[in-house]
Amino acid sequence: MALRSGKRKMFIHCYDCARRNSCLSRLSLPLQQPALIPILLHMVQLRRWVGSLKSLFGSYSAIDLSLPCFRTVTHMDIFDDITDDSEGVLCAALTALPCLTHLCLNGDTLDLVPRLLVQCAQIQVVVSMHIGINRARDIAANPPTADTRFVVSRTGSYWGDWELGAQGKTDFWAAAEEFIAGKRRGEIEASCNLLEHL
């Protein structure tokens, strides 16, 4: 795709961009559907994934994270509503990711957290992300686990934070890592789970 000077308006489909850039290491697309899967099959260096797995695969039962594009994913930020019906499928899929070290669950998906922390020994950070500070405070006060790898935060400028991370600056992942390290060093109370980064 070549851009010429003088163009004032342009529509670029996000799938076209992804298709032309198979060496992407970070991918966040607002629109996900099964049509994206053939494009992902060519992304062999994907490290960070943001999206809804149900939307990508069409249903929870169709989720297949054994695809080559997911083998190298270290950071996954998922926007799925995890229910009793989907919890087992998602837990099995996530625990099968060989490089996954960072996981962000958006919304009230707390029942999955203790199970994931037990079954995914390589997980270093699990962030429970919430829109409202009051809900984040409630969860931090009554966490689903006492594991130090669990952090609660709230959503601020999500895309601004994503850009910070892409530039190598402190995004919510780096802030969560430092928060956990501070707890382990005794600089932050062990019972404190609320990260106020955003």
The pTM of the full predicted model, rounded to 2 decimals, is 0.82
Q: How far is CA 16 from the centre of its chain?
A: 23
Residue 177 near residue 120 (C-beta atoms within 8 A): no
- Tens of pLDDT, residue by residue over 58-115, are 999 999 999 888 889 999 999 888 887 888 889 999 999 999 999 999 978 788 899 9
List pLDDT tens digits, range 164-194: 888 888 999 999 999 999 999 999 999 999 9
Burial class (CB in 10 A: 0-12, 13-18, 19+), 2: exposed
DSSP string for 132-159: SHHHHHHHHHS-S---TTEEEEE-SSHH
* pLDDT tens digits along 105-158: 997 878 889 999 999 889 999 999 998 899 999 999 999 999 999 999 998 777
